[in-house]
Amino acid sequence: MEERDRGIATMTVDLREAAAWFRETCRHVGVGVALLDVQGRILAANDELAALLRTPADELVGRGEDEFVHPDDRQLADWGIGDDAQRTQLRLLRPDGEIAYAIRILRPLRERFDGSLALAHYLDVTEHNSRLVGLAELGEFAQTVADDRSGAELVSRARNLLTRHLALADDQAAAALGGSPDVLELLGGEDRAFVRSIASILETAQARRRAENARHHLAAHDGLTGLANRATFAARVDEAVGRIEAGREYLCILMIDIDGFKRVNDSLGHLHGDRLLRDVAQRITGVVRPTDTVARIGGDEFAVLLTGLTVPEEAEAIATRVRDAFRAPFAADGRAVHLSASIGVATARSRATDPTEFLADADLAMTEAKSTGKGRCVVFRPALRKAAAHRIALEEDLRVAVERGNFRLDFQPIVELATGRWIGAEALLRWPHPTRGLVPPLDFIPLAEDSGLVVPLGRWVLRTALQHRVAWSEQLPRCPDFCVSVNVSVRQLAEPDFPDDVAHALDATGVPPSALVLEMTESVFMDAENGTLRTLEAIHGLGVRLAIDDFGTGYSALSYLRNFPVDILKLDRSFVAGLLGTAQDRAVTSAVIGLAHQLDIDLVAEGIETFDQLEILRELGCRLGQGYLLHRPMAADAIPATCPAA
């Protein structure tokens, strides 16, 4: 008694957790099981025990186990916590007064629940009292099922039980477990029941294992393609690196990213996008060996682990094969869709390889493949790591500079070509870096976009540009319409608050909306979802004008000019540079100018560097221009000092 009281006093078990654990592990183990507390109270019982006691499981809960034990056996049934597993034969009472014979195996749950709970297995031996020895083992067998041994071990134990207790040969035992009538006929009724009990326990165990495997498969695989997922892939890489036989073989990771998949996915819809991803998975799987691991490790990112390579050229050859597997068009929604993949290749030759770095190297090579053109394979080289380190350092500096506002804006005048009058100026961001000198925007804007820093940075640019506009207005009394143009990136437009930011900046500085132009590249329109369209309309609704920057370098699907509120086209400087070349170049520029006129869109030619270019643009009827010939970008306070109308 003392023991028990102590048990209760120290019991810290969460009973709900215990009951949940029990439901999870003991629901269908094939024999009766109960979860008991230190006082022998039933906390949970499974259906098999309910059947044995002919009492619904929920009515068993909360009652003492001894209520179901024959009075003469209660002494036997008593137990003290802390004992090892005990095996006892008991007579159990059913509500109708009938008696069932059972072997109870009681096991304190030492590892779980502080050992203050116990699990009792009840083997129904009512029908085969005579086979007690074998049946006791059957009980143990059932317990090994609950202990979750491996499948093969369970089968061999089951056979072993049959060979020893029924004097069957091993193959006969196997046949008996498989339900072979030939063997079962050799046995008496009781023996057949014995076989059936074992087979049923085994089957339950196997069913549970199958369910667990399915659960496990789900956790390890990508639901869409059935390929390994990121975690599994990383684990396989880990494992494979640990087995490399240096000097004899090497490993290779192919990191595969589908080029421009987002656009395809957005235009086709996710259903077709998903189907495409499945097709991609199949194509990749089709060109590697069955022993290689193919995984989907992100939205449109796949990876392959190639093992046991021996010839140095092999990895690249396989990478090329994967790349070429994208050549034939894919079918989606009755259309042919052309996809390409950028592939990074990294190899590992010794067990000393750090698997995380190995993966990172393949990733770096893939990023390099992407940034140097699409549909390419790039093999990792250490210089990429240096470039990445440089990028990381630069990003860190950029973060600090954004926090402190360590930037400056220069302005390049936008000029009316016929008169030389300035109609405004474009703000161009400058980063004077403490050690690297002046970093050009094309070196840090992409970094700011990738890291999201472009959002706070862009806010700073907008405010500062408008503040300069306020300062100029006093010095440029003859130019009340002087506009300031500000570049914005796609990433800023994706922010739902962007229109509010613009409105606030205008309010705070008192600059009229008509004096602000926001420049964005064609990609904004090509990737536009409904959200972007709403954002553009909201900004346009404020009275702010929108310009398409670098016009002509993007996709040139001109339909968006109809769908979006575009006020100004800025003809890319490559067209201006081409004006003196072939007649075709001139024809294209002339056509764009005509198009702008017809759509009532203003046109600014960028990058005018020579008098000849200026002359031709004037002839073609281009109204506005920008370029080194006219003015180089200058400091903000040089604007009123230089402006001809000032």
Q: Which residues lie near Mg ion (CB under 5 A)?
A: 487, 519, 549-550, 606
- Residue 134 and residue 73: Cα distance in Å, rounded? 22
Sign of CA dihedral 304, 308, 313, 314: negative
**Interface stretch with ligand C2E, choices 17-25, 65-73, 160-168, 423-431 (CB under 6 A):** 423-431
Sign of CA dihedral 19, 20, 22, 23: positive
Q: Which residues, 367 to 396, sit near ligand C2E by CB under 6 A?
A: none
Q: Should residue 549 be labelled a site residue for ligand C2E when binding is judged by CB under 6 A? A: yes
Tokens at residue 458, please? 């862009």
Distances (CA, A) of 583 to 219, 329, 416, 604, 608: 62, 35, 25, 21, 18
Return the SS3 of 517.
Answer: strand
Distance, C-alpha 587 to centroid of its chain:
47
* Residue 440 contacts which entry, Mg ion, ligand C2E, none (Cβ below 5-8 A, type-dependent): ligand C2E
Among 30, 413, 627, 640, binds ligand C2E (CB under 6 A): 627
Q: Should residue 174 be labelled a site residue for ligand C2E when binding is judged by CB under 6 A? A: no
- Residue 342 and residue 368: Cα distance in Å, rounded? 9
**Interface stretch with ligand C2E, choices 19-27, 83-91, 424-432, 612-620 (CB under 6 A):** 424-432
Q: Should residue 633 be labelled a site residue for ligand C2E when binding is judged by CB under 6 A? A: yes
Nearer Cβ to Mg ion (275/408): 408
Q: Should residue 412 be labelled a site residue for ligand C2E when binding is judged by CB under 6 A? A: yes
Q: Distance between the two ends of the chain, CA-based, in angstroms?
A: 103
Among 429, 502, 593, 614, binds ligand C2E (CB under 6 A): 429
Instruction: Write down the H helix ranges in 29-120.
Output: 47-53, 57-60, 74-77
Return the SS3 of 236.
Answer: helix
Shortest distance in whole angstroms from residue 419 CB to Mg ion = 22
Nearer Cβ to Mg ion (129/555): 555
Q: Phi and psi at residue 105, in whole multiples of 5°?
A: -110, 120
Shortest distance in whole angstroms from residue 531 CB to ligand C2E = 19
Shortest distance in whole angstroms from residue 278 CB to Mg ion = 40
Q: Which residues, 519 to 538, sit near ligand C2E by CB under 6 A?
A: 519
Shortest distance in whole angstroms from residue 330 CB to ligand C2E = 33
Q: Which of 489, 629, 513, 625 is nearest to 570 (CA)?
A: 625
Q: What track of x and - describes contact with ligand C2E for positions 566 through 595 (by CB under 6 A)?
A: -------x----------------------
Shortest distance in whole angstroms from residue 627 CB to ligand C2E = 4
Shortest distance in whole angstroms from residue 570 CB to Mg ion = 5
* Residue 517 contacts which entry, Mg ion, ligand C2E, none (Cβ below 5-8 A, type-dependent): none
Distance, C-alpha 607 to centroid of its chain:
42
* Residue 423 contacts which entry, ligand C2E, Mg ion, none (Cβ below 5-8 A, type-dependent): none
User: Binding-site residue total for ligand C2E (CB under 6 A)?
Assistant: 25
Distance, C-alpha 356 to centroid of its chain:
17
Q: Which residues, 489 to 518, sit near ligand C2E by CB under 6 A?
A: 489
- Residue 288 and residue 281: Cα distance in Å, rounded? 11
Shortest distance in whole angstroms from residue 300 CB to Mg ion = 30
Shortest distance in whole angstroms from residue 366 CB to ligand C2E = 26
Neighbouring residues of 430: CB distance < 8 A, sequence distance ≥ 6: 407, 408, 409, 410, 438, 441
Q: Which of 520, 583, 602, 529 is nearest to 553 (CA)?
A: 520
Shortest distance in whole angstroms from residue 573 CB to Mg ion = 7
Nearer Cβ to ligand C2E (571/643): 571
Distance, C-alpha 168 to centroid of its chain:
55
DSSP state, residue 72: G
Nearer Cβ to ligand C2E (232/487): 487
Shortest distance in whole angstroms from residue 453 CB to ligand C2E = 11
- Residue 48 and residue 57: Cα distance in Å, rounded? 9
Nearer Cβ to ligand C2E (29/576): 576
Instruction: Write down the H helix ranges in 405-489.
Output: 441-451, 454-475
Q: Which of 66, 26, 65, 31 is nearest to 139 (CA)?
A: 31
Strand order from edge to edge, sheet including 301-309: 293-296, 301-309, 250-258, 341-348, 377-379
**Interface stretch with ligand C2E, choices 150-158, 228-236, 253-261, 437-445 (CB under 6 A):** 437-445
* Residue 300 contacts which entry, ligand C2E, Mg ion, none (Cβ below 5-8 A, type-dependent): none
**Binding residues vs ligand C2E (CB under 6 A):** 412, 427-429, 440-442, 445, 458, 461, 487-489, 519, 549-550, 573, 606-609, 626-628, 633
